[in-house]
A and B are shown apart, each in its own frame.
Chain A
Amino acid sequence: MSLLDRKLLRDLIALKSQALAVALVMACGLAMMVTTRSLILSLDSTRDAYYSEHRFTDIFARLKRAPHAVHEQLAAIPGVAAVQTGIAVQVTLDVPGLPEPAVGLINSLPERGEPVLNRPYVRAGRLPLGRTTRGEIAVGEAFAEAHGLKPGGSISAILNGTKQAFRLSGIVLSPEFVFEAPPGAALPDNKTYGVFWMPYKELATAFQLYGAFNNVAITLAPGASEGEVIAAVNRVLAPYGARGAYGRSNHPSHRRVDDEIRVLQGLSVAFPLVFLSVAAFMTNSVMSRQIALQREQIAMLKACGFSNRQVGAHYFKFSFAIVIVGVLFGAIGGIYLGHRLVEMYHLFFRFPQLDFVLDARVLVSASAVSALAAFAGVAGAVHRAVRLPPAEAMRPEAPASFRPALLERIGGGRWFSASFRMALRNIERRPIRSGLTCLALALATGILIVPNSFRDGIAYVIDFQWDIVQRQTVTLTLVEPGPARAIADFRHLPGVELAEPFRYVPIELRAGPISRRLTLQGLPERGTLSRVIDAEPRQLTLPARGIVISSKLADILQVRPGDEVIAKVLEGHERELAVPVVGLAEDFAGMAAYMELHALNRLLLEGDRISGAHLVVNASRWSDFLHAVKNTPRAAGCVIKNSIRDGFRKTTGESIGLLQKMYMMFAIIVAFGIIYNSARISLSERARELATLRVLGFSRGEVGAVLVGELVLLTVVALPLGLVIGSGFAQGILSSVNTETVRLPLVLTADNYAFAILVVAVASALSAWFAARKLADINLVSALKALD
């Protein structure tokens, strides 16, 4: 080790707490970058490998019923490489230990051999394969875990009106159900929704579909056009009650993973850059101070024959040492948080194996960015230092010149105390540094706003969705749409106090070239249970003509109330109709469209039919009600509002809660780091001044006040600025989370602001206190010494 490097090491040790503060802020930015980029890589690569290994298909279609012969027609379509047809049906489940009925989506397994496309991955047990297998079913892992189901256990399902018991043959995963949730759901609810697989023959027989299929999966040949194949598939399936084929981009599970990756991409750039800029600024201030303190040493080195380059390199090494520590902490922190977040993703996404894959490239490039930031931060100070002729550098720096601050010049001076004046004038003498410190503090305040705006947004969504929009206790759906008089049967279930019918129909909504597939809900014109609410929030009355769509959908379709959209019905008689958009509703998950129930039925030309009903059930008869529902053959699904809400709370608590904690920790580190560093630098620059004050009879506390006065002033200016910046951050980040499957409203509460202010104030107070404690180390006698 050269002697200059030994000096470097000792200087670093002497400056350890400040160097550490800078390194930690840098580490926060790096950790965030490493975590998010690595998660993107993990999700992306795992998904790709899973898809190709298990032959996830490119095109999907549901229909009512088509004979096996149609399979050949599909396979003959140009551009189709492989076709798999089968059955998928939704059923009501009776799960041991779950009072309410759950919903299951049962998929058929081929009569001969194993599935060729969308091949399930068997986690435990086996698939119930073979023509003679009966009474066996395989269950999706998420549902099995939620209920503690094991191979060999049992479950009951109502198949086309008949309740049947099944033995669980195995626990499986499927590339089709990475996100194991009903279409359109933002979060999984694994207690009440599960995916199953059973032999074709048994399933088809139960639903009188033997010799036919209602579900199609297609793999495209290389180079084939997805659009053309979809159009051809639709033509082939049109006579069989097709609901319109769609590609991967409309596949609910695939899309949900895509959305998650999009969210991560949003988080992986802007936020880390804020942290790295703050770190660059801190490096600059620490190094400028260090170089100012070592002015004479630099002169000596140069006088002894060290070249400008050697001296410059020495100080660059100094800042790179800080970067190395920051990169080290950042990498460790990023890898740790990445692992924690991967665990969190197990709540959402089911892969055979989802491992954290470190994106080493991002670590390298992020380190390079940090090094560059540090370099930029130090270059100016080093340049100034080496440019100085040794003789001049040997002399102490000329005393700083001051002038009255602006506030005093405009006449405010006489009310200010001497220490306040010192603070004002110090700030004004170094406008850029003061401005940057203020900005850094504002950023620290702003960063604190973000995590709590997540929390408040979620709380708002919960209230909005389950108190304002949905006021039923439970929602029952029929196996298939039935006559409106079925509502009377629902009213007669035990404990039912109120019942309102609804009709759900899958449609494709189109405006110009843009289209989306969704469920159109037919509701009473002004229902009391499931209501259509706008952004105000105010209940909307559904008119006899026209459609109300969610504002997100309106954005996507680029339509406004008054415009017309084309609704293509994807069930029963396929029809296309132009309907005017008559209003915009608010919602935060998926995309919704509403019509008045009778208006919808007129449109469908099916007479008065309903898909189910929203019910209010008397709590005292709850178990009777559930028992009755489990034994009602026509009820295909039963959704209990409170369990959905609890599931949502739990899942968001575990996911967003983790993110919130992570961001909170980072924000606190930045706030603390910036303030501590500023106080230390101020202490170092003014040591002599402060020592003089002590000699002149100022108490330690009074000198402390002079020391932190400047910081207090900067903090006071920074706080409101920080609130504005933070609101902008929250807006920006939430808009990156604003996907078609999940959205969060921007909710900024006084509590949130107060918390940010409190944290920065406490961090300021604590770090100022730490720095002020250093005042005790000031050597009073040094003030008496001459400068030379």
Chain B
Amino acid sequence: MPAAANLTFASSSRPDGANREPVFHVRGLARVYGEGTAAVTALRGVDFDFFRGELVVLLGASGSGKSTLLNQLGGLDSPTNGTLLYRGWNLGTADEPGLTQFRRDAVGFVFQAYNLIPSLTARENVALITEICRDPMTPEEALELVDLGPRLDHFPAQLSGGEQQRVAIARAIAKRPAVLLCDEPTGALDVHTGITVLEAIERINRDLGTLAVIITHNAILADMADRVFTLSDGRIVNARTNPQRGSVRDLAW
């Protein structure tokens, strides 16, 4: 049994602010793909701390390293160098079963392409996850949070893009994750539908105190964040804190 499997990755129930231990503690994080002359450096040493209840937006052009960073945070890939701690636990050196357990308990993913299982209904797609984690909400509760209550028993092929993405969000949050990682969540959606989806993410972040990390190349989303990091060529080139988080409705589309 790997050490990590004994850890509880579920989010802390302590109120926001009472606990300033970072959810992610990252120092000098680097990722190099390949070796020798073929080596490609995707991350060149980044430092930050992310905290519970925060909504962070990572901006950057394609190839800037933002997806690589998200993969590191989600336990999909391991760094070549540097420190990557999740609540003090070293994610960078974790083994495969440990990473699987981490993803299962702590992380909710939202993908640009939704990635729903086509043979399962909305409710079942969510239930698939609630069956395997420790303290989930019911699929119905999760779908209610994204305003999909009435479309519970529809298959993905019967849902619109926005609806599919909201099912994906419900699936991500049903486990009450500590972290919600969203990769271009509105990339495939029109503006109107994108707003609905972002509202759902914002609500989860606010109501459940989940750390939400959104990567996007759409700078407009920066206004809804607590903090905004801009990446370029594998480095953080700009970090700012918004004095006031804007609501999704007020974003300047």
Interface residues, chain A, CB within 8 Å of chain B?
Answer: 398-404, 417-418, 421-422, 425-426, 429, 688-689, 692-700, 702, 780-781, 783-787
Contact in complex: A421, B109 (CB < 8 Å): no
Write the nearest CB–CB distance from B113 to chain A, whole angstroms.
5
Write the nearest CB–CB distance from A141 to chain B, whole angstroms.
68
CB neighbours of A422 from chain B (8 A): 117, 119-120
Can you list 11 A-B pairs with a CB-CB distance of less than 8 A? A398-B157, A401-B155, A402-B119, A403-B155, A692-B117, A695-B76, A698-B104, A785-B112, A785-B113, A786-B113, A786-B184
Write the nearest CB–CB distance from B104 to chain A, whole angstroms.
3
CB neighbours of B119 from chain A (8 A): 400, 402, 421-422, 425-426, 429
Contacts A425-B119, A426-B119; A696 near B129 (Cβ below 8 A):
yes
CB neighbours of A699 from chain B (8 A): 97, 100, 104
CB neighbours of B32 from chain A (8 A): none
Contact in complex: B124, A421 (CB < 8 Å): yes
Cα of A402 to Cα of B120 in the assembled complex, Å: 8
Contact in complex: B115, A402 (CB < 8 Å): no
Cα of A741 to Cα of B227 in the assembled complex, Å: 93
Give the most central of A422, A426, A429: most B CB within 10 Å.
A422
Interface of A: prevailing SS: helix
Which residue in B107, B118, B120, B155 is a CB contact (below 8 Å) of A418? B120
Contact in complex: B76, A402 (CB < 8 Å): no
**B71 contacts partner chain A, Cβ-Cβ < 8 Å:** yes
Cα of A3 to Cα of B184 in the assembled complex, Å: 38
Contacts A400-B157, A695-B103, A697-B107; A784 near B67 (Cβ below 8 A):
yes
Chain B positions 153 through 186: 1 when the CB is less than 8 Å from some CB of chain A, otherwise 0:
0011110000000000001000100000001100
CB neighbours of B120 from chain A (8 A): 402, 418, 421-422, 425
Q: A784-B109, A784-B111 are in contact. List 15 more A-B contacts (CB 8 A).
A: A398-B157, A399-B157, A401-B155, A402-B118, A404-B121, A695-B76, A697-B101, A697-B103, A697-B107, A697-B132, A699-B100, A700-B100, A785-B112, A786-B111, A786-B188
Write the nearest CB–CB distance from B70 to chain A, whole angstroms.
8
Cα of A450 to Cα of B67 in the assembled complex, Å: 57
Give the most central of A425, A784, A785: most B CB within 10 Å.
A784
A-facing residues in B112-142 (Cβ within 8 Å): 112-113, 115, 117-121, 124, 127-129, 131-133
CB neighbours of A426 from chain B (8 A): 119
Contact in complex: A689, B117 (CB < 8 Å): yes
Cα of A403 to Cα of B187 in the assembled complex, Å: 28
Contact in complex: B131, A418 (CB < 8 Å): yes
**B74 contacts partner chain A, Cβ-Cβ < 8 Å:** yes
Write the nearest CB–CB distance from A496 to chain B, whole angstroms.
77
Write the nearest CB–CB distance from A571 to chain B, whole angstroms.
79
| Nearest neighbor of A423 in chain B, beta-carbon distance | B119
| Nearest neighbor of A428 in chain B, beta-carbon distance | B119
Interface residues, chain B, CB within 8 Å of chain A?
Answer: 67, 70-71, 74, 76-77, 96-97, 100-101, 103-105, 107, 109, 111-113, 115, 117-121, 124, 127-129, 131-133, 155-158, 171, 175, 183-184, 187-188
Q: How many inter-chain contacts with C-beta < 8 Å in the A-B complex?
A: 99
CB neighbours of B187 from chain A (8 A): 786
Write the nearest CB–CB distance from B243 to chain A, whole angstroms.
32
Write the nearest CB–CB distance from B66 to chain A, whole angstroms.
12
CB neighbours of A702 from chain B (8 A): 132
Contact in complex: B157, A696 (CB < 8 Å): no
Contact in complex: A781, B124 (CB < 8 Å): no
Cα of A787 to Cα of B112 in the assembled complex, Å: 9
Which residue in B107, B111, B118 is a CB contact (below 8 Å) of A783? B111
CB neighbours of B124 from chain A (8 A): 418, 421
Write the nearest CB–CB distance from A386 to chain B, whole angstroms.
26
Contact in complex: A698, B76 (CB < 8 Å): no
CB neighbours of B188 from chain A (8 A): 786
Give the most central of B71, B97, B117, B156: most A CB within 10 Å.
B117
Write the nearest CB–CB distance from B218 to chain A, whole angstroms.
14
Write the nearest CB–CB distance from B141 to chain A, whole angstroms.
18
| Nearest neighbor of B130 in chain A, beta-carbon distance | A418
Cα of A702 to Cα of B129 in the assembled complex, Å: 12
Contacts A418-B120, A780-B76, A783-B115; A696 near B97 (Cβ below 8 A):
no
Cα of A693 to Cα of B187 in the assembled complex, Å: 21
CB neighbours of B127 from chain A (8 A): 418
| Nearest neighbor of A416 in chain B, beta-carbon distance | B124
CB neighbours of B111 from chain A (8 A): 692, 783-784, 786
Cα of A632 to Cα of B156 in the assembled complex, Å: 94
Give the most central of B70, B77, B129, B171: most A CB within 10 Å.
B129
CB neighbours of B132 from chain A (8 A): 697-698, 702
CB neighbours of A693 from chain B (8 A): 117, 128
| Nearest neighbor of B158 in chain A, beta-carbon distance | A401
CB neighbours of B155 from chain A (8 A): 401-403
Contact in complex: A786, B76 (CB < 8 Å): no
CB neighbours of A692 from chain B (8 A): 111, 115, 117
In the A-B complex, the 10 residue pairs with the smallest Cβ-Cβ separation, listed nearest first, are A697-B104, A401-B157, A692-B115, A697-B103, A425-B119, A418-B128, A786-B112, A402-B119, A780-B76, A422-B119
Contact in complex: A695, B109 (CB < 8 Å): yes
Cα of A692 to Cα of B119 in the assembled complex, Å: 14
CB neighbours of A781 from chain B (8 A): 67, 71, 76-77
Write the nearest CB–CB distance from A223 to chain B, whole angstroms.
74
Cα of A783 to Cα of B118 in the assembled complex, Å: 14
Cα of A694 to Cα of B74 in the assembled complex, Å: 12
Cα of A688 to Cα of B117 in the assembled complex, Å: 9
Cα of A636 to Cα of B181 in the assembled complex, Å: 97
Cα of A402 to Cα of B132 in the assembled complex, Å: 24
Give the most central of B118, B155, B171: most A CB within 10 Å.
B118
Give the most central of B104, B119, B128: most A CB within 10 Å.
B119
Write the nearest CB–CB distance from B31 to chain A, whole angstroms.
12
CB neighbours of A700 from chain B (8 A): 96, 100
Which residue in A402, A425, A780, A787 is a CB contact (below 8 Å) of B113? A787
CB neighbours of B133 from chain A (8 A): 697
CB neighbours of A688 from chain B (8 A): 115
Cα of A45 to Cα of B127 in the assembled complex, Å: 70
| Nearest neighbor of B153 in chain A, beta-carbon distance | A404
Write the nearest CB–CB distance from A788 to chain B, whole angstroms.
8
CB neighbours of B183 from chain A (8 A): 784
Contact in complex: A696, B71 (CB < 8 Å): no
Cα of A398 to Cα of B156 in the assembled complex, Å: 11
Cα of A696 to Cα of B74 in the assembled complex, Å: 10
CB neighbours of B171 from chain A (8 A): 696
Give the most central of A402, A417, A418: most B CB within 10 Å.
A418
CB neighbours of A417 from chain B (8 A): 131
Cα of A696 to Cα of B67 in the assembled complex, Å: 17
Write the nearest CB–CB distance from B15 to chain A, whole angstroms.
26
CB neighbours of B107 from chain A (8 A): 697
CB neighbours of A696 from chain B (8 A): 103-104, 109, 128-129, 171
CB neighbours of B103 from chain A (8 A): 695-697
Contact in complex: A400, B118 (CB < 8 Å): yes
Write the nearest CB–CB distance from A421 to chain B, whole angstroms.
7
CB neighbours of A402 from chain B (8 A): 118-120, 155, 157
Cα of A237 to Cα of B128 in the assembled complex, Å: 92
Contact in complex: B105, A697 (CB < 8 Å): yes
Contact in complex: B113, A697 (CB < 8 Å): no
| Nearest neighbor of B102 in chain A, beta-carbon distance | A697
Which residue in A399, A429, A697, A785 is a CB contact (below 8 Å) of B156? A399
Contact in complex: A784, B112 (CB < 8 Å): yes
| Nearest neighbor of B188 in chain A, beta-carbon distance | A786
Cα of A398 to Cα of B155 in the assembled complex, Å: 14
Write the nearest CB–CB distance from A416 to chain B, whole angstroms.
10
Write the nearest CB–CB distance from B1 to chain A, whole angstroms.
13
Cα of A148 to Cα of B9 in the assembled complex, Å: 81
Contacts A399-B157, A695-B109, A697-B105; A784 near B71 (Cβ below 8 A):
yes
CB neighbours of B117 from chain A (8 A): 422, 689, 692-693
CB neighbours of B175 from chain A (8 A): 697
